[in-house]
Amino acid sequence: MEYRCTRRELFNNLQEEKGGRQIQKNSLVKHIATKVGVQASHDKFKLIEKQVSRFCSELFRRLDKSNRIIDRFLKNNEEWLDREFVCDVNVVKTPFGKRGRPQTDFGESSTRSKRRKTETLRKSAESAESLAFAAKMKHRESGNVEHAKLLDEMEKSPTRPSKIRRSWTIASTSSSSSVMRSYNDDEALAIFLEADLTTHQYKVMRQGAKDLNADIYPSYKRILNAKKTCYPESLLVTESVAEVKLQDLLNHTASRIIMSQEPLFVRMKYDKISMTLISKWGCDGSSGHSLYKQRAEEGFSDSDIFFTSMVPVQLFCVDENGEKSVLWQNPSPSSTLYCRPIKIQFVKESTILTKKEVAHVEEQISALSPTNIKMFGKEFEINHDMLLTMIDGKICNAITSTLSTQRCYICGATPKDMNKLDLIEKKSVDTTTFKFGLSTLHAWIRFFECLLHISYRLEIKVWQVRDKNLKGSVSVRKKEIQKNFRSQLGLLVDQPKTGGSGNTNDGNTARRFFENEEVSAEITGVDRNLIHRCGIVLKTISSGFEINTKTFETYANETARLFVSLYPWYPMPTSVHKILIHGPAIVSNALIPIRQMSEEAQEARNKHLKKFREHYARKISREATNRDVFNRLLTTSDPYITSLRQKYRTKQKKRSLPAEVINLLTCHADKGRLEITDAPTRSEEGGSSDSES
């Protein structure tokens, strides 16, 4: 339903009405409302008011510009007055309210906006007493009993409001009794976890605050109750296994995400909302864990752990027009802050175990049902999409039954084929393996180690070193390179860690290697242009933005050909081959930016397993230890508690992406706004999130 006329007709109508501009405007609103048959109490009446107000504002501006001389106004605005005015009173509802700038909550509105929003309410009220009574009843209905009691107190006598105000002024200006708010249970738990406090430390801090008349921290017992809300149902804990059903874990995760986004979901117009939660999952083994004086069956050892976990990445819905709207996005998908445990097993990683565990989880995924949640007076249905991307090359080989680590599990290429790029292009590709992603964390390490191993062999130009003399030459050059990296960049390169848990080649070392390409080229003797191009490729896949697959494919292919032309005697490693040759196809197949599918969170969690077992778990029994560790993993990854922890975290320094990286992205038009953190995302409980275990 709509009303059409010329602007001149509306101007003539205004001229006929005697009185001020507001009276003229109200008269015009009533005139149009009568024409279209809309009552003043109807929602469409407000829509008419808004459109008429917009017209009148423009008309009065033009009239003032003509010094309110009617003849001059009509002459200067003849064309404008002859145009048609359309008042559309059709209210179109969208799944997420009106489009454009979101409406500000009443509490956050300015004084002027609050007056405008309550104008109709004030005009329709009989008296101030009736409004006060209505406000009191509304507070009681909303559960704000204290607010209602305060209004009751103010109505007891005419002088009572001034007395209350005087008391408040005295209390607010007094140095001994400052007004403050206590932390609720969830906020206190967030501080407890973010500060990495022990029970004793928290109690000391709480007592110290109470001694200064600042009783702002809840008791530790209430913190324990808040922890229990972070645990899903159906936890299974034995001496060798701690596990939660995937369905229950996803249900709990979805409900906590919705809870963390309360302001958004409360404003939604629809009572029933269907959404999809994209999560990534994976598994990995770690070794070097502590052995405790606990009973164990013969042959059992708790020095090795096989860990399965998942990370929620994105919650979105699709409206009636097929338009995707992201309702929640994991702000740090590569951090441990949202890395939720599925299963902990005290067993050494193997191919058989990997296949069994992947099959077990995939069986649960196939049996998943939508999560139904009732919250904030609305019903939410969340479907789940699980992506197996938090895995490294060893896991990929195990899943695909690739027996050799030097064979590509995607195209089957062997070392003798790696540098034959024309032959590689003709090989058939297993597209089902694209779902595994690119393992961006390990990509940094593998590219770094590839160039490092080339530098060791530059003098002999031989890939496989079998001769003793050649081995001695390689060993001498290796020590020299290690020494130079330590003295010039402060890096520990290719040195084994104590306890047999890998070496010092981690993500941070690799990033500093490519960041200081000039020094790295000087130390290693590797071509600087190759180091630079490899760094650009790695920064592109780690940027977190959508990648232009065509330009990226061209750049990666040129980098691969440069590698082969410079070092034909060194076969391209499988990890490097996967990114340079198959990377564009894998990126184009991904549902979300490839960086968000990284395995970084899974790898960083291995450190937490060691730390939690040592410092946050009871040692009275193996089962008690496992339960405490698993509960700690659940608590530190709870989406709602994590959202409260974010405000206590220090912000990372940011820097712009290199121009070459921006040119490889689909959003290169907005290159002025593209930034990445200067360092990798800090993992929970301190330390870097990208070290390889």
> 620-634 pLDDT, tens per residue?
888 999 999 999 999
- Write the secondary structure of 269-289 as one string of H (helix), E (strand) and C (coil): CCCEEEEEEEEEEEEEEECCC
| Cα→Cα distances 77→5, 389, 505, Å | 17, 64, 74
Q: How far is CA 55 from CA 14, 48, 84, 115, 228, in A?
A: 12, 11, 12, 21, 57
SS3 328: strand
- 3-class DSSP state of 86: strand
Q: What is the pLDDT of residues 95-139, one digit of tens each?
A: 444 555 667 777 677 888 878 888 888 788 878 888 888 888 888
Q: In terms of residues, how long is the chain?
A: 693
Please state, in angstroms and rounded to a whole number, the distance separating the CA atoms of residues 665 and 653: 22
∠218-222-226 over CA atoms, to 5°? 115
Q: Is the pLDDT of residue 690 over 60?
A: no
pLDDT tops 50 at residue 291:
yes
Q: Which of 339, 341, 269 is nearest to 91 (CA)?
A: 269
Tokens 């101030």 label which residue?
128
Cβ neighbour number for residue 301 with a 10 Å cutoff: 12
Number of helices and strands in the chain (H, E): 30, 12
Q: Which of 266-275, 353-362, 458-467 has the highest mean pLDDT?
A: 353-362
Strands (DSSP E) found in 152-304: 235-237, 241-244, 272-286
Mean pLDDT over each residue of the chain, to the nearest integer: 85
The least confident of 24-38, 287-301, 419-433 is 287-301
The angle that helices 21-36 and 43-65 make with each other, rounded to 10 degrees, is 140
Higher pLDDT, 285 or 37: 285
**Residue 672 pLDDT more than 50?**
no
A 10 A CB-CB count for 182 gives 12
In single-letter form, the type of residue at position 547 comes to I
pLDDT, tens digit (0-9, with 9 covering 90-100), for 80-93: 888 888 887 775 54
Higher pLDDT, 685 or 488: 488
Average pLDDT for 500-504: 74
pLDDT exceeds 80 at position 547: yes
Say how far apart CA 176 and CA 123 lie, in whole Å.
Answer: 44
| Cβ–Cβ under 8 Å, residues 411 and 430 | yes
Cα separation, 562 vs 565, in Å, equals 5
Give the other-Cβ count within 10 Å of 444's Cβ. Answer: 29
With tokens 């961006």, the residue in question is 440
Q: Which two tokens stand for residue 618?
A: 């009871």
Evaluate if residue 534 carries a pLDDT over 60: yes
Do residues 619 and 354 touch, judged by C-beta distance below 8 A? no
Indicate the residue type of 113: S
**Strand bridging mode 305-318 / 235-237:** unpaired
Q: Is the pLDDT of residue 453 over 80?
A: yes
Q: Describe the chain by its helix, strand, coil percentages, rounded to 5.
A: 55, 15, 35
Burial class (CB in 10 A: 0-12, 13-18, 19+), 154: middle
Query: CA-CA-CA-CA torsion for 664, 665, 670, 676, nearest 10 degrees?
Result: -100
For residues 546 and 653, the model is more confident at 546
The residue-averaged pLDDT of 265-277 equals 87
* Confidence band, pLDDT 50/70/90 cuts, at residue 464: confident
Amino acid, single-letter form, for residue 17:
E
Q: Looking at residues 35-48, what average pLDDT do you find?
A: 78
Q: Which long-range contacts link 671-679 to residues 24+ away (Cβ below 8 Å)?
A: 674/543, 674/545, 676/539, 676/542, 676/543, 676/544, 677/652, 677/653, 678/652, 678/653, 678/654, 679/652, 679/653
* Mean pLDDT, residues 31-50: 80
Q: How far apart are CA 394 and CA 288, in angstroms?
A: 18
Among candidate residues 351, 387, 335, the one with its CA nearest the CA of residue 682: 335
Q: What is the pLDDT of residue 680?
A: 42
Q: What is the mean pLDDT of residues 501-506?
A: 80
For 558-584, what is each residue's pLDDT tens digit?
999 999 999 999 999 999 999 999 999
Sign of CA dihedral 640, 643, 644, 649: positive
Q: Looking at 429-433, 489-493, 675-679, which range is the least confident one?
A: 675-679
* Predicted local distance difference test score (pLDDT) of residue 466: 84
- The lowest-confidence range among 201-210, 495-504, 573-582 is 495-504
At residue 176, the pLDDT reads 45
Q: Which residue has the tokens 């700690």?
A: 632
Listed residue (82, 60, 63) closest to 7, CA to CA:
82
Q: Rounded mean pLDDT of 546-559? A: 92
Q: Left (φ > 0), alpha (ψ -120 to 50) or beta: where does 303 sit?
A: alpha
Cα 29 from Cα 21, distance rounded (Å): 12
3-state class (DSSP) for residue 416: helix
Among 395, 244, 257, 435, smallest CA distance to 337 is for 257
Burial, 84: exposed, middle or buried (Cβ in 10 Å; 0-12, 13-18, 19+)? exposed
For residue 480, the model assigns a pLDDT of 93
Q: What's the mean pLDDT in 493-516? A: 84
* Comparison of pLDDT for 35 and 536, the residue scoring more: 536
Per the CB < 8 A criterion, the answer to whether 155 and 132 are in contact is yes
Gap between the Cα atoms of 142 and 28, Å rounded: 38
Alpha helices in 340-467 (DSSP H): 351-366, 393-399, 415-418, 421-426, 440-456
Q: What is the mean pLDDT of residues 417-443?
A: 89
User: What is the number of other CB atoms lying within 10 angstroms of the CB of residue 232?
Assistant: 20
Give yes or no for residue 689 having a pLDDT over 60.
no
pLDDT at 254 over 60: yes
In this prediction, residue 344 has a pLDDT band, given cuts at 50, 70 and 90, of: very high
Q: What pairing do the DSSP bridges indicate for beta strands 340-345 and 305-318? A: antiparallel
What pLDDT does 266 receive? 84
Output b/e per residue, 60-80; b: 16+ Cβ within 10 A.
Answer: eeebeeeeeeeeebeeebeee
Please report the pLDDT score of residue 682 as a whole number. Answer: 39
Name the percent of the chain lying above pLDDT 70.
90
